[in-house]
Amino acid sequence: MPITPRGDDPSQAASRPLRIAVFTKNGENPNYQAFLLGAERAAAALGGVTLPHVPSTPDDPVEQTALVRRALRETRPDAILFAPADDRAMEGPVAELNVAGIPLVGFVNRMRGRFVSFIGADDVAMARAAAGYLIAALRGEGRVVLIEGPETAPTSRDRGRGFREEIACHPGITLLGTAPGRYLRRGGYEAMRALLAAHGPRIDGVIATNDSMALGALDALAEQGRRALVVGNNGAIEAAQAIGEGRLLATMDYDGFKMGALAAMAAIRHLRGLLVPAEILLPAQVIHRGNHAAWLVPVAERPLPDWDAIVLG
């Protein structure tokens, strides 16, 4: 179905590709890098182009707000894929996008506002699965710590809740403490150092809310000659490699490439007048030594997801 993108002369609009602006909150996290690639490839396959907008300071809502307003003023994209740097702080800028009439597809972090669809996962269920896998490896007995993402991220809040709910179901597991890791590898390293200093040799397991922080925790443990079972979340290639090497116990499949592709597909389908579900949630799957090889495939070589298989299947 042909469309006339908002604000364009019809004769010019018909001759150019659909412009899909992509707002991520972090340029360092490999999962957001994978999201951008997935969105770019899916948009290109459907006759569109992506316009990435990434704050130079990770998770900075002030910079993200400036990027939103610049896009409104200078680009006027046909649709926007949006992950808020802070779900509460970004409510005003998202309201401005709603007033402008630009369709929004949310991903990773939910927030208030008018969105065509949300692409993500059940973060509570995913966290419970990761914690459960660690607890099973500890045979239900041990002392664990949490390394958590920023409080401004709904994913971090939900995963923290899931971890605690699962731990509460196992009386043999003691939660020694938590530390913030900001969803960054350096942050995970610093958090693990702080937890080692506070709890010494008593740590048996580490649960991190993303792979970057889990890898940072492994860096700190190796530096001090310590060992503990560590689980992460995201399914990053480096995490899969660490699982194969026996350094990381497990991670979760939180496929940024697939989410980016599905978000771009949802936006373009909506622009073409096709039905799009209000949310698309990917299933929680534990990645471990027995199945990790599938996540070693470089992101650029992965096939685009099949919309019908995921949405209708």
| pLDDT for position 14 | 53
Predicted pLDDT at 184: 92
CA within 13 Å, CB half, 27 = 9
Note the CATH number of domain 123-252: 3.40.50.2300
Continuous H helices in 46-102: 61-70, 91-100
Determine the length of the chain.
313
Residues (pLDDT < 50) of the chain are 1-13
Give the largest Cα separation in the chain, rounded. 70
Give the per-residue pLDDT at 4: 39
Beta strand 48-53 pairing with 18-23? parallel
pTM of the model: 0.86
Do 31 and 54 contact (CB within 8 A), yes or no?
Answer: no
Would you state the pLDDT for residue 248? Answer: 98
Q: Is-same-fold flag (10-121+255-284; 123-252)?
A: yes
Spans of all domains in the chain? 10-121+255-284, 123-252
Question: How much is the pLDDT for 290?
Answer: 97
115-159 tens-digit pLDDT: 999 999 999 999 999 999 999 999 999 999 999 999 888 889 999
d(CA 257, CA 241): 18
The topology under which CATH files domain 10-121+255-284 is Rossmann fold (3.40.50)
